[in-house]
Amino acid sequence: MPLHDADSRRRGDDRGSADAVVTVAMNGVTGRMGCNQHLERSIVAIRDAGGLVRADGSRIQVRPILVGRNAAKLNDLAARYGVADVSTDLAMTLADGSVDVYFDAQTTNCRAESVAMAIAAGKHVYCEKPLSEDAGVARELGAAAAKAGVKAGVVQDKLFLPGIIKLRRLLDSGFFGQLLSVRIDFGYWVFEGQIEPSQRPSWNYRAEDGGGIVLDMFPHWQYVIEELFGPIESVVVLAATHIPERVDESGAAYPATADDAAYGILQLANGVVVQVNSSWVTRVRRDELVTFHVDGTEGSAVAGLRDCVQQHRSATPRPVWNPDLPNPVDFRATWLEVPAIGVYENGFKDQWERYLRHVVDDEPFPWTFERAARGIELVAAAWRSNAERRWVRLDEVG
């Protein structure tokens, strides 16, 4: 693996007018998310744009090293994206003094061990969520990162969606008055593989490999809910495996052991009630694959991935229940679009840029391992609620 001479590079702790070159070892980029969002649309996009401009006019440049188990896939990606360096030996890569940051987008059950190795090697760490399947392990990794003096962050991409940015603007303006409730509706039909190939990897449906929609999606719901609406106090969840058998990438049938849908209610500390439906076995009849419907005393809003609409109290129609007559109100027509302010970048790229500035220039980056552990606590509470068929407080699993 030919590596750049360390003396010819500007390290993240070296201030001056020369560019800072950050070498990022990217593990898990042969997967869909790691390749599309992190490699192509984030790191390669930043590199091809000439890096990030710093306050002194210099730039933060990125140099990726692609890491994984499949050499053929890595070489194919390297050729496609113009990446010079690949490695199938994680330990050797982490031992290389020129590597500044370790990024992990592997399957969940592999992440904690690799992240611990990177911290022990003195590398800054940025990784996909969830950090692990256990909140205690996540907190231990956070403590290890702090002790080692490395900067650790976790992807929380939903916060950077245009629809959520617009929704946050409504919240910050006091548009809703007193918040009452939130309804999150997420999901789509993931093909089982018999008629059409699945859109998601087979490990997503095997609990033993870190699969399941609760583990995949509830960390997202935690950071969106707690950053926008308030701390989660307790939860009741029913999880289900609706499709018991699926077909994997090789065409072989396998038992689906992980949950493919979860139906939850969350009580926030401020009294707000949040309903969350998460499903890979539902057909979409809404504007986007995920919607956040927020109701308050003075107004309501519905945000998706990119768009957000609002309805103020003064513009709320007065429907009257009468099933014997056609509905006279065009409810969709009574909502107004929340306009965009500025240009919205890809959410993954936006957070990558903030993390790189955090590493090089120590700019604030609040999405730490400690905060990521909170999302895993929500997962644990959801799992316990489903197993014991009861409400579970998050402080029971903390």
DSSP assignment string, 134-147: -HHHHHHHHHHHHH
Is the previous residue joined to 130 through a cis bond, with omega within 30 degrees of 0? Answer: yes
Contact 276, 293 (CB under 8 A): no
The Cα–Cα gap between 49 and 2 comes to 24
The Cα–Cα gap between 204 and 210 comes to 7
The Cα–Cα gap between 248 and 193 comes to 7
Nearest to 103 by CA among 396, 375, 348: 348
Q: How many angstroms separate the Cα of 67 from the Cα of each of 26, 197, 205, 313?
A: 6, 27, 25, 53
CB atoms within 10 A of CB 310: 20
Contact 205, 257 (CB under 8 A): yes
The Cα–Cα gap between 37 and 76 comes to 17
Q: What is the predicted pLDDT for the residue at 6? A: 33
The Cα–Cα gap between 93 and 163 comes to 38
Q: What is the predicted pLDDT for the residue at 327? A: 87
CATH number attached to the domain at 6-157+348-369: 3.40.50.720
159-343+376-392 sits in which CATH class? alpha beta
Q: List the chain domain ranges.
A: 6-157+348-369, 159-343+376-392
The Cα–Cα gap between 53 and 180 comes to 42
Q: What is the predicted pLDDT for the residue at 17? A: 64
pLDDT under 70 in the chain at which residues?
1-17
What SS3 state is found at 278?
strand
